[in-house]
């Protein structure tokens, strides 16, 4: 029996589109009927995760659960959530459903071990993701080293994340490249685009680095969960 994917999206909208597009393009399909059935709740009413995690803002969990209930009603067999900081709340969501979540953190850590064994990850992401050690923690459990941006470097990255969320086209790669070069000088051998806006930043700016794209890893894992053949992009 064919399995289906539920995308718990809206964090943000373009990141949701990016996951959907990657699932479609990475499925080795030869006709419409060879693709996976996908349900998407692009719930843009979900409150900001970093604000909730660090500054006592409104919890995103109620709206996440609302989206989850819609995906359950559709009949999704697994849930993919294209938001790294959203995984801070994953345990709360998993308690409320029998549908398995595919963890973007787990599949990314697995890819890091496979592709860059012995490397040092330069972790980039929202401030909420970095401050809660979502990636540094899971990598340390697997014996991998990592480092993060300085406060000034993080300000640059958050400005670019915000630009994607505001649907502004990025054209100048120099500020981000300066951050990447500084992190390489401190020992980073590859990067994790640990915010689902960052693969879009990297694409728009045509950044050429060794990296892991968590959205791609999430798409790959979802396709494999559903039992469909992969086409690498």
pLDDT tens digits in sequence order for the chain, 233 residues long: 899 999 999 999 999 999 999 999 999 999 999 999 999 999 999 999 999 999 999 999 999 999 999 999 999 999 999 999 999 999 999 999 999 999 999 999 999 999 999 999 999 999 999 999 999 999 999 999 999 999 999 999 999 999 999 999 999 999 999 999 999 999 999 999 999 999 999 999 999 999 999 999 999 999 999 999 999 77
| Whole-number Cα distances in Å, 214 to 45, 64, 70, 104, 149 | 23, 20, 25, 6, 18
| Tokens coding 128 | 């909420």
| Whole-number Cα distances in Å, 164 to 18, 117, 131 | 12, 31, 21
Burial letters for 69-99: b for 16+ Cβ neighbours within 10 Å, e otherwise? ebbbeeebbbbbbbbbbbbbbbeebeeebeb
Q: Supply the pLDDT for residue 46.
A: 98
Which are the catalytic amino acids? Answer: 83, 195
> Going from the N-terminus, what domains does the chain have, and what CATH number goes with each?
5-103+216-225 (3.40.50.1860), 105-214 (3.40.50.1860)
pTM of the model: 0.97
Q: What sign does the dihedral 176-80-37-12 (CA atoms) show?
A: negative
Q: Supply the pLDDT for residue 232.
A: 76
Q: CA 58 to CA 15: how far, in whole Å?
A: 21
């Amino acid at each position: 029996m064919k399995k289906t994917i539920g995308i718990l999206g809206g964090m943000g909208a373009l990141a949701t589109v990016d996951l959907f597009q990657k699932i479609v393009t990475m499925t080795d399909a030869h006709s419409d009927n060879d693709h996976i059935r996908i349900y998407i709740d692009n719930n843009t009413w979900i409150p900001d995760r970093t604000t909730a995690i660090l500054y006592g803002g409104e919890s995103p969990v109620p709206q996440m659960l609302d989206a989850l209930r819609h995906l359950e009603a559709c009949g999704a067999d697994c849930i993919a959530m294209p938001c790294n900081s959203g995984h801070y709340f994953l345990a709360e969501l998993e308690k409320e459903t029998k549908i398995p979540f595919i963890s973007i953190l787990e599949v990314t850590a697995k890819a890091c071990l496979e592709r860059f064994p012995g490397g040092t990850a330069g972790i980039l992401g929202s401030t909420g993701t970095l401050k809660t050690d979502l990636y540094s923690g899971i990598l340390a459990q697997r014996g991998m080293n990592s480092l993060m941006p300085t406060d000034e470097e993080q300000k640059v990255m958050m400005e670019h994340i915000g630009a994607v969320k505001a649907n502004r086209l990025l054209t100048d790669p120099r500020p981000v490249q300066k951050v990447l070069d500084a992190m390489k000088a401190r020992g980073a051998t590859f990067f994790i685009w640990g915010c689902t806006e960052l693969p879009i930043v990297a694409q728009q700016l045509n950044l050429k680095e060794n990296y892991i794209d968590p959205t791609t890893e999430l798409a790959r894992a979802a396709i494999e969960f559903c039992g469909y053949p992969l086409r690498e992009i």
